[in-house]
A and B are shown apart, each in its own frame.
Chain A
Amino acid sequence: MLKKLAIVIISTFLFSCSANAGSDGDLKLKKESQTKEVKDCFEKLNRATFAFNQGLDKAVIKPLAESYRDLPDPIQRGTSNAVKNLSTLITIPNNILQGDVKTALINTGRLVVNTTVGLLGTIDVANKMGFPKYVKEDYGQTLGAWGIGPGCYVVLPVLGPSTLRDTAGSFVNVMGGDPWYNASVHGNNEFLSEGLYITSKAIGGIDFRADNIESFENLEKNSIDFYASVRSLYTQDRENKIKNNQRGNIEVLYNDEEDWQEVENK
């Protein structure tokens, strides 16, 4: 109970900071729709946390991801599928909260098939059966879909880039929004534990890092301000996900149209 209370207080604090944030380090991301913009209110702190995360990545996470990539392909694929399967437990309530009952039903079918026939999600049977492509949803996206702005950009220790809205969304997971967390931590079950929950999240992180080793290296090598590049890519990605845009959808491009129209080449 105390833990939950602390989380609520922190969330409230973060949101109130967002409302009163100063204008230092403003990052206006949308010229046309001025209603929502991501501000880098805590840029100095964020940059320090980013540097810490990079150090941690080089010392621990990247070497682990490289070792993970040395595992046989079926093990990597199975792990990746199992992690994805667990994420449907968060996606389904968010589909409902966003009013998309049809996708919630499809994802429930996917979860049942993959957890049973697919041996605890290690085999993506639903995909082979022709289920529609799986799209993850989370509570941050739902808050965004409800019209709540991103608030300030933040870099979390270990977890990386986020916004105040997305951070608050993550707290919902541990406040009862993630059935996997509830079953592991509060399930009073001899097979599940908090340690298992944390391990599953850590494996998910390493799986993601292993998929992106070359992309991150390439980005870092060719950036003049790596921190700003990551911030830009994160905020663009979240905008696309909140609008449920298909990747590369034309609507994404219109955000900056006014600025493009001004540009001549003489």
Chain B
Amino acid sequence: MKKTILILLLYFLNFSSAYSIAPDVFVQSTVNRASQILSKNISKEEKINELKSIASETVDIRGVGFYSLGSARKVLNDKQKEQFFVLFEKYFLKSFSSRLAEYTNPKIEVYGKKILNENYTIVNSLLVSTSERPEIKIDWRIYTKNPDNPLIRDLIIEGLSLARTQKEEFSSILNSNDGNINALFKVLEDFSNR
């Protein structure tokens, strides 16, 4: 009986781990997909649209949005939160994809990872140098709470966190407007529409 339980337990563990995706494999596969798009002979707008689709699948946009709000996230009501996420998703996808679309034919190599805790793993990668630009280090903060579905929460380019920069931008807008969340909503909306 003991043996049967042990076998069942081992089988279950193997089975569940077979479906979890290692964060470094996830990043490499994501950057390969993005690189393919950026290398395609299509217009910049088409590239941006395809990158948006990848970002929607692989980035935890709600998580990034929550983080970017900083302490303001604690004072929003449910209706305001939903309004924020609708605006934030549009803003984020436009901003993120436009930044990436500037790179042509990028080659990114994943070379390491470090598990911070059960929720986060940092994956290290390198944007290989070309004649026009030096080598660039890019680290990825991967949210691993659900190991079957890892998601990107931050990109740290040469030690500079995009999420932290975004959080400080939001904080600056809120500070300049006496903490009025509607001012931030308007800025996000204007950005998405421009």
Contact = CB atoms under 8 A, between A and B. Distances in A.
B137 A247 contact: yes
A247 B137 CA distance: 7
Given A253-B116, A263-B67, A265-B143, A233 B171 contact: no
Given A257-B116, A264-B66, A250 B122 contact: yes
Contacts, number: 101
A141 B138 CA distance: 24
A27 B60 CA distance: 25
Nearest to B175: A25
Contact of B172 (A228, A237, A254, A264): A228
Interface string A177-216: 0000000000000000000000000000000000000100
Contacts of B120: 260
Interface stretch (A13-21, A111-119, A121-129, A219-227): A219-227
A175 to B, nearest CB: 30
B91 to A, nearest CB: 8
Interface residues of A, number: 37
A232 B102 contact: no
Given A228-B169, A247-B159, A236 B164 contact: yes
Interface in A5-51: 25-27, 29
User: Among B66, B151, B159, which residue has the most Cβ atoms of chain A within 10 A?
Assistant: B159
B168 A228 contact: yes
Contacts of A110: none
A253 B114 CA distance: 11
A251 to B, nearest CB: 10
Interface of A: 25-27, 29, 214, 218, 221-225, 227-229, 231-233, 236-237, 240, 245, 247-250, 252-254, 256-257, 259-261, 263-266
Interface of B: 60, 62-63, 66-67, 70, 91, 95, 98-99, 102, 114, 116-117, 119-120, 122, 124, 137-139, 141, 143, 151, 153, 156, 158-161, 164-165, 168-169, 171-173, 175, 187-188, 191
21 contacts: A27-B168, A27-B172, A224-B91, A224-B173, A224-B191, A225-B187, A228-B168, A229-B165, A229-B169, A231-B168, A237-B160, A240-B159, A252-B159, A252-B161, A253-B122, A253-B161, A257-B116, A261-B119, A263-B153, A264-B66, A266-B62
